[in-house]
Amino acid sequence: MVRFENVGLRYGLGPEVLRDLTFRIEPHSFQFLTGPSGAGKTSLLRLLFLSLKPTRGLITLFDHDVATLDKDSLAVLRRRIGIVFQDFRLLDHMSTYENVALPLRVLGREEESYRHEVEELLHWVGLGERMAALPPVLSGGEKQRAAIARAVIARPQLLLADEPTGNVDPNLAKRLLRLFIELNKSGTSVVIATHDIGLMDQYDARRLVLHEGRIHVYD
């Protein structure tokens, strides 16, 4: 599904923040991406999410060499990836329901065709009563769940989550992890970037550890 070969990344003329990354992400797999702060977890996620281009090496995503794709093709490829940002990135002027439905709206689907789907997912993540609420009035946990719902509504093949439990209490963190595990069981590959050792200890999964710009894979 994802293949990195000798990938390196530097910002401008600065030093390489990621060096010689070679790894794969298989379909239906679950992995934690971890490492100390500043190790390059977010940069690697951005490479995975096609919002950055590597300065060297080869990235293959869904059998496409991303270096050869134009902007529109990258957009189409991105539809197969869901991402949960640490800061949620919900649109404050749209209701929770509309935020979650946004990926389907962008695909050009009629509201009637996805209303039930979105409502069902919102109930599933425990936001059934908060559909009409605007993001500024949601709690941190509710925002996190809305962001996750938005990331998975279009049934992506790959889900990337950047510190998804960073702003929530341990109980909610446990519930969110269960949510990711359920998604993985339903066929989505999951990559969770976190430095929360407690979270990783709760689920036995592959670990990709970034250290000084290099990656170490622990299957």
Partner 1 sequence: MSTTDRTAARGRPRTSARVAAALPSWGELVARFGRRPRETPIVPRASIAAGALVAVVAIMTFLASLTAGAVVTVIGAAAEWQSDVAREVTVQVRPMAGRDLDADVARTVEIVRTAPGVTAVQPQDKTESAKLLEPWLGSGLSLDSLPVPRLIVVAVTPGRPPDYVALKARLAAEVPGATLDDHRAFARRLRAMADTAVGIGLAVLALVLAATVLSVAFATRGAMATNRPTVEVLHFIGAKDAYVAGQFMRHFLFLGLHGGAIGGGAAALVFLLLGLVGGRLFGLGGADVAALFGGAALGPGGYLVLVGLVAVVALVTAVTARRVVTVTLRQVG
Q: Is 91 in the site for partner 1 (CB under 8 A)?
A: yes
Say if strands 2-10 and 56-61 run parallel, antiparallel, or are unpaired. Answer: antiparallel
Site for partner 1 in 1-60 (CB under 8 A): 49, 51
Q: What residues are paired with 190 via a beta bridge?
A: 30, 159
Q: Is 137 in the site for partner 1 (CB under 8 A)?
A: no
**Which window, 5-13, 17-25, 54-62, 87-95, contacts partner 1 (CB under 8 A)?**
87-95
The answer to whether 14 and 67 have CB atoms below 8 angstroms apart is no
Q: Is 163 in the site for partner 1 (CB under 8 A)?
A: no
Q: What residues are paired with 61 via a beta bridge?
A: 2, 64
Q: At what angle do helices 111-124 and 96-106 cross, to 10 degrees?
A: 130
**Which window, 78-86, 119-127, 181-189, 204-212, contacts partner 1 (CB under 8 A)?**
78-86
Least gap, CB of 84 to partner 1 (angstroms) = 10
Q: Is 159 in the site for partner 1 (CB under 8 A)?
A: no
Phi and psi at 118, nearest 5°, equal -70, -45
Q: Is 150 in the site for partner 1 (CB under 8 A)?
A: yes
Count how many residues are written for the chain.
Answer: 219
